[in-house]
Amino acid sequence: MIEGCNLIGGAALAGTGIEIHATEAASGKTLGPAWKGASDDDISRACNLAAAAFIPYRQTSVEERAVFLETIAENILAIGDELVTRCMAETGLPRGRIEGERGRTMMQLRLFAEVLRDGSYLDIRHDPALPDRKPAPCPDLRLMNQPLGPVAVFAASNFPLAFSVAGGDTASALAAGCPVLVKAHSAHPGTSELVGRAIVAAAEHCGMPAGVFALLYGPGNAIGQALVAHPTIKAVGFTGSRGGGMALMRTAAARPCPIPVYAEMSSINPVYLFPGALAERAEEIAKGFVGSLTLGAGQFCTNPGLVIAVEGVGLDRFLNAASESLNAASAQVMLTSGICQSYTEGVRKLSEHPAVAEVGRGTIGSDTQGQAALFQVDAETFLADASLHAEVFGAASLVIVCKDTGVFRQIAEALEGQLTCALHISESDHSLAADMMPTLEELAGRILCNGFGTGVEVAHAMVHGGPFPATSDGRSTSVGSLAIARFLRPVCYQDFPIGLLPKALR
């Protein structure tokens, strides 16, 4: 049921703020209904309800929270094809991708149910008392993690299910025991309402307090700033642009009581093509690269936006094969007209740069479609021109041509923090790769061999994070079971009677 409503305190409410509309990504046509944005009063009420829900919600058992997460997953599936078709219309993404993402979203929710039942996320520690220690006895000390409090989540445009209303941030925060307030992304408001209602129904079904979840709509950044500034909010999850993330970071730092912001912002995901690998399989790598580059119209946080290689026959073979492969790549509908315009503008700037040469372009499409693009530039120009280090969100990439392995290594030292860094290597490259590892470990949250970063497994050992500006906090991940750690803090209990300890510590 899509009615154009905010969801606050378990109820669907028409907002009173400025209206937003859904847009069919492929045609640019407006889709009904309209959503009136949450007013300042609505936001404040949702935040206060979340604060009131915090204590009862965190007091629920891990089993109750696990079942809540699993019920959300079931409810999302139960929406059926209405969710898939609406999401396809709003995002322009194909059915297979949306169905896959729905599965991933459910899997994430179920993973955190598993994490809860496993219990190791609590980091339980116990130092027993030493009553006879000299010169003073040692008390009994027990430690466990506790939730931070209500979390504001800013949904991403590019994963309308897996990084949106019931995405990884929401799942990990709810698992931790934190109520969640989601700012719906205006690029898929109908999808958001459907999923939000699935969460509200699960909360009701599982007897969770009504303030445990809210979904708020609104244009622009005002609603986000109001949420992050609200005193009841204790942490922020965000996936989006560098500008948007940094604005939230500033607001969070300027609060009377500053709070952590987990913002995933910007990454060009360098791909290192080592000489041995190019000699061995330049064409195969090129094919894989173009596949990764054009996946989902290039709208992945881990899209390979930068390729680094040493000049020579191997690189020439790669460039020829990539060019050929790319020339056959169809234009694809992008998520929003704004994203498409920014992409086209970014590509235009690259193409007009005097030192940048075109390697290949995909086919031209309609006004709502992005045309894939591959460029090349010499390393010296790249190192001297910071504008070439910026992310172009979409299926565009830049090959840095290095005159030797010294320059090849130097590029890694000149880059900003990244989500991923991919190495294409053969046996003969191991020594050079080993020398570069300490630099690459400082550069990125995930380093991968002979693959591309666009598949982000939901797993225990995943890190989807990385040094600034890839994220605002490189000590964390937003994908995988470790994501729950973002919303926890340790509490120590000293000399407590057993009956007063939290159940997990008894």
Alpha helices in 59-182 (DSSP H): 62-79, 81-91, 95-118, 168-176
Q: Is residue 57 within 8 Å of 209, Cβ to Cβ?
A: yes
Q: Of 140-148, 301-309, 363-371, 382-390, which part binds its own copies (CB under 8 A)?
A: 140-148
CB of 454 to its own copies, least distance (A): 11
Distance (Å, rounded) from C-alpha 295 to C-alpha 416?
Answer: 24
Strand-strand pairing, 270-273 and 369-370: unpaired
Exactly one of 29, 95, 117, 125 binds its own copies (CB under 8 A); which one?
A: 125
CB of 53 to its own copies, least distance (A): 12
CA-CA distances (angstroms) from residue 481 to 101, 161, 162, 462?
Answer: 18, 18, 14, 8
Q: Of 65-73, 144-152, 223-231, 317-325, which part binds its own copies (CB under 8 A)?
A: 144-152
Distance (Å, rounded) from C-alpha 122 to C-alpha 488?
Answer: 9
Exactly one of 149, 150, 167, 276 binds its own copies (CB under 8 A); which one?
A: 149
Which CB, 38 or 488, lies closer to its own copies?
488
Q: Of 38-46, 213-221, 255-263, 279-287, which part binds its own copies (CB under 8 A)?
A: 255-263
Phi-psi region of 150 (alpha: psi -120 to 50; beta: other; left: phi over 0): beta
264 part of the active site? yes
CA-CA distances (angstroms) from residue 408 to 246, 316, 379?
Answer: 31, 16, 8
Question: Is 249 an interacting residue with respect to its own copies (CB under 8 A)?
Answer: yes
Q: Is residue 218 within 8 Å of 40, Cβ to Cβ?
A: no
Exactly one of 126, 348, 403, 506 binds its own copies (CB under 8 A); which one?
A: 126
Exactly one of 258, 291, 338, 406 binds its own copies (CB under 8 A); which one?
A: 258
Exactly one of 1, 131, 136, 364 binds its own copies (CB under 8 A); which one?
A: 136
Q: Nearest to residue 76, comparing CAs of 210, 231, 199?
A: 199
* Phi and psi torsions of 5, nearest 5°: -120, 150
Distance (Å, rounded) from C-alpha 461 to C-alpha 474?
Answer: 15
- The string of DSSP codes covering 397-463 is EEEEEESSHHHHHHHHHHSPPEEEEEEE--GGGHHHHHHHHHHHHHHEEEEEESS-TT----SSS--
Exactly one of 127, 204, 345, 385 binds its own copies (CB under 8 A); which one?
A: 127
Residues of this chain, 410-449, that bind its own copies according to CB under 8 A: 416-417, 425, 430, 433-434, 437-439, 441-442, 444-449
Question: Is 500 an interacting residue with respect to its own copies (CB under 8 A)?
Answer: yes
Which CB, 110 or 197, lies closer to its own copies?
110
Does the bond joining 497 to the residue before it have cis omega, within 30 degrees of 0?
no
Which CB, 185 or 242, lies closer to its own copies?
242
Which CB, 358 or 441, lies closer to its own copies?
441
Tell the residue number behind the tokens 């154009």, with chain if given: 4
Residues of this chain, 187-216, that bind its own copies according to CB under 8 A: none
Residues of this chain, 292-311, that bind its own copies according to CB under 8 A: none
CB of 219 to its own copies, least distance (A): 27
Question: Is 455 an interacting residue with respect to its own copies (CB under 8 A)?
Answer: yes
Question: Is 273 an interacting residue with respect to its own copies (CB under 8 A)?
Answer: no
Question: Is 506 an interacting residue with respect to its own copies (CB under 8 A)?
Answer: no
# of chain residues touching its own copies (CB under 8 A): 72
Which CB, 23 or 418, lies closer to its own copies?
418
Q: Of 12-20, 202-210, 223-231, 249-257, which part binds its own copies (CB under 8 A)?
A: 249-257
Element (H, E) at 315: helix 313-327
Candidates 70, 193, 264, 391; catalytic one: 264
Which CB, 14 or 461, lies closer to its own copies?
461
Distance (Å, rounded) from C-alpha 350 to C-alpha 314?
Answer: 24
Residues of this chain, 377-416, that bind its own copies according to CB under 8 A: 416
Which CB, 384 or 491, lies closer to its own copies?
491
Distance (Å, rounded) from C-alpha 106 to C-alpha 70?
Answer: 8
Distance (Å, rounded) from C-alpha 293 to C-alpha 295?
Answer: 6
Counting every residue, how long is the chain?
Answer: 506
CB of 7 to its own copies, least distance (A): 26
Query: Can you read off the two tokens belonging to residue 214?
Result: 């809210």
Distance (Å, rounded) from C-alpha 383 to C-alpha 31?
Answer: 45
Candidates 87, 301, 340, 402; catalytic one: 301
Residues of this chain, 40-79, that bind its own copies according to CB under 8 A: 55, 58-59
Distance (Å, rounded) from C-alpha 371 to C-alpha 405?
Answer: 32
Question: Is 495 an interacting residue with respect to its own copies (CB under 8 A)?
Answer: yes
Question: Is 477 an interacting residue with respect to its own copies (CB under 8 A)?
Answer: yes
CB of 324 to its own copies, least distance (A): 25
Exactly one of 12, 18, 84, 143 binds its own copies (CB under 8 A); which one?
A: 143
Q: So which residues are the catalytic ones?
A: 264, 301
